[in-house]
Amino acid sequence: MKTDLLHSECLVCKRKEEQYDSSALLCREKDCLADADLRALERPNFISKLPVSKNELDLAALPPLDFRQHAQDMFAMTAVPGFQEAGQYSKEQEKILKGLLPFQDNLLGKQFHLRCGNPILLQSKKLGSELNNVDDAFILDFSAYGWSNTLKDPRSWAIINHALGEKLQHLALWTAGNAGYSLSKIAQAVNRFLPFRERLNVYSIYDSYNDSVERKITFEIEKHGGHIHTILSQGNIIPPAEIQEQIYNRHMIESDQIWCVTDGLEGVGNEMYKLIFLQVLSKLKPSHVFVPVGTGNLYIGAFRALKHLIDNKFLPGSTKLIGAVPFGNNVYNDILKNSKTLNPRLREGGSNLNLGQPLMPKLVGEYSPLRQCIKHSLEEPFVEMMQITERSQKHALNALSNEIYREDFKVSFEPSSLAGFSALLDSQNNGEHIGSALVINTGMGNISENEENFLKSGSGLRRIPA
Ligand SMILES: [Zn+2]
């Protein structure tokens, strides 16, 4: 996928290019460290260049958080008192915002009359008061999006709007569930309005080597018109070239017709996350942000937003971004294993002892296309990583399950979404004072029977007696 609509920028050396080209996403400049520690054969699997808008970022164009002042799709809304801003969101601001989005036009809204939904910013007074060292606790709830009820929806929204604008019909991804589910569901809603030859196709590739993806999950994707391809990769990375070859072999579609949108590779989703974080962080100004890290797409979006806000003095340098990874097999450990120069930067509080692996199938896995970006982020002093153990995940489950039916807030979460909450609770152990915590709830999409049983064990799925 090549587009003149977006510039590309290397996250590591900051070099910009006029055109965004998804076939050359790892920076090869001599003095750039983006490919440090990578072997030649590994290079096509990783990226350092991300899309950026051609227009200059204007924070004043981001919508207010108060929903009474704007009706912008995809951006956060809140009913928490204290976020009313003076004046109305103007047509002029709306126009500037449109120029910042990673697609030409919101065709899903305009032509197909669809809405993505909005993440909701909640304040939990009870969660805040139960934690001695925390003054205020806020939750940015991605389960409020309307398609997969997860963080994948704004990503899919950006991908499909971009694909419709650029007339790209074939979207392929390597997925463990929610990314393929969200994309298929939106594509299906669009396809109802399109003649056969113009329809969107979503190809979801699964690795049958680890059958953590149950039949139940792949069925949900097929139900929404997605194509399922199971391949046996022996646990190896399934790179874009192999995905394209698979699709060619089965559907005779040439590789230049296929856009590989494996989570983290798609770029436009990351840009969307960045804008949402810029909106929320510039207005909420939290002291600590807790984000689950799987492929790190959401995390890198938060990182890019925070970096901009700290560098431009909108937020103090003491603001912390805490990435929460599951204990054991995770992208952070893969970075440490492969890097000769990086020192471990684990946040204290959570135990680094082996207290069991948590059940977080959406976050487990060493490979991410964004590995070199995540590695680069760890050089910033405001970033810390925290490993979540089975014990702290259960702690978070119990805390939220007790909380969930009180009038304070109600969010739905799957086991992997507990990572951010676990990191906040674990932060208690190191005695650090947290002025205002923002925890990201990544939502509840497609879950396996194992995940369902785990939630029931904490009574998170308990019914209220009639
Ligand atoms: Zn570079």
Domain boundary among 233, 260, 287: 260
What is residue 259's three-state secondary structure?
A: strand
In a domain, 465, yes or no: no
CA of 58 to the centre of ligand 1 (A): 24
Question: Region 318-328: what's the mean pLDDT?
Answer: 95
Residue 351 has pLDDT above 60, yes or no: no
CA of 320 to the centre of ligand 1 (A): 25
Instruction: Tell whether 410 and 284 lie within a shared domain.
Output: yes
Model pLDDT, residue 458: 79
Question: Which residues have CB under 8 Å from 31's CB, separation 6+?
Answer: 13
Question: Region 384-405: what's the mean pLDDT?
Answer: 83
* 415 close to 451: Cβ distance less than 8 angstroms: yes
Residue 28 has pLDDT above 70, yes or no: yes
CA of 27 to the centre of ligand 1 (A): 4
pLDDT classification of 403: cutoffs 50, 70, 90: low
Question: Region 292-316: what's the mean pLDDT?
Answer: 97
In a domain, 4, yes or no: no
* 207 close to 239: Cβ distance less than 8 angstroms: no
CA of 372 to the centre of ligand 1 (A): 11
Model pLDDT, residue 206: 84
What is residue 388's three-state secondary structure?
A: strand
Model pLDDT, residue 462: 47
CA of 214 to the centre of ligand 1 (A): 39
User: Using CA atoms, how far apart are residues 239 and 228, in angstroms rounded to an integer?
Assistant: 17
Instruction: Tell whether 140 and 225 lie within a shared domain.
Output: no
Domain boundary among 205, 240, 260: 260
Model pLDDT, residue 118: 96
User: Using CA atoms, how far apart are residues 62 and 79, in angstroms rounded to an integer?
Assistant: 17
Model pLDDT, residue 431: 76
Question: Which residues have CB under 8 Å from 412's CB, separation 6+?
Answer: 143, 149, 443, 444
The total of structural domains in the chain comes to: 2
CATH number of the domain where residue 423 is located: 3.40.50.1100
Mean pLDDT in the chain?
A: 89
CA of 14 to the centre of ligand 1 (A): 6
Model pLDDT, residue 439: 96
CA of 373 to the centre of ligand 1 (A): 10
CA of 336 to the centre of ligand 1 (A): 21
Model pLDDT, residue 85: 77
Q: Tell the burial category of 302 from Cβ atoms under 10 Å away from its Cβ (0-12, 13-18, 19+).
A: buried
Calculate the CA 226 to chain-centre distance: 21
CA dihedral 453, 220, 181, 210 (to 10 degrees): 60
Instruction: Tell whether 157 and 139 lie within a shared domain.
Output: no
Instruction: Tell whether 208 and 229 lie within a shared domain.
Output: yes
Instruction: Tell whether 200 and 348 lie within a shared domain.
Output: no
In a domain, 367, yes or no: yes
pLDDT classification of 408: cutoffs 50, 70, 90: low
What pLDDT, in 10s, does the model give residues 152-193?
999 999 999 999 999 999 999 998 689 999 999 999 999 999
Instruction: Tell whether 252 and 287 lie within a shared domain.
Output: no
Question: Which residues have CB under 8 Å from 36's CB, separation 6+?
Answer: 339, 341, 372
Model pLDDT, residue 463: 42
In a domain, 345, yes or no: yes
Residue 401 has pLDDT above 60, yes or no: yes
* 200 close to 190: Cβ distance less than 8 angstroms: yes
Residue 111 has pLDDT above 90, yes or no: yes
Task: Give percent helix, percent strand, percent coil of the chain, each to the nearest 5.
Answer: 35, 15, 45
- Side-by-side strand order, sheet with 6-10: 16-17, 6-10, 49-53
Extract the tokens encoding 69: 């002042």
Instruction: Tell whether 302 and 389 lie within a shared domain.
Output: yes
Question: Region 325-334: what's the mean pLDDT?
Answer: 92
pLDDT classification of 300: cutoffs 50, 70, 90: very high
Extract the tokens encoding 464: 């209220």
In a domain, 95, yes or no: no
Residue for token pair 């019914």: 463
Instruction: Tell whether 241 and 276 lie within a shared domain.
Output: no
User: Using CA atoms, how far apart are residues 319 and 317, in angstroms rounded to an integer?
Assistant: 5
* 439 close to 139: Cβ distance less than 8 angstroms: yes
Helix (H) or strand (E) holding 77: strand 77-78
In a domain, 287, yes or no: yes
pLDDT classification of 325: cutoffs 50, 70, 90: very high
Instruction: Tell whether 356 and 369 lie within a shared domain.
Output: yes
Angle (CA) 83 324 459, round 5°? 80
For every residue of 17-35, DSSP letters joined together read ESSEETT--S---TT--TT
Q: Positive or negative, the Cα torsion across 259, 169, 242, 226?
A: positive
Question: Region 2-15: what's the mean pLDDT?
Answer: 96
Instruction: Tell whether 160 and 178 lie within a shared domain.
Output: yes
CA of 31 to the centre of ligand 1 (A): 8
Looking at the chain, the whole-number percentage of residues with pLDDT higher than 90 is 65
Residue 465 has pLDDT above 50, yes or no: no
Model pLDDT, residue 443: 96
What pLDDT, in 10s, does the model give residues 119-138?
999 988 777 666 778 889 99
Residue 443 sits in which domain range? 122-147+268-457
CA of 39 to the centre of ligand 1 (A): 17
Instruction: Tell whether 134 and 175 lie within a shared domain.
Output: no
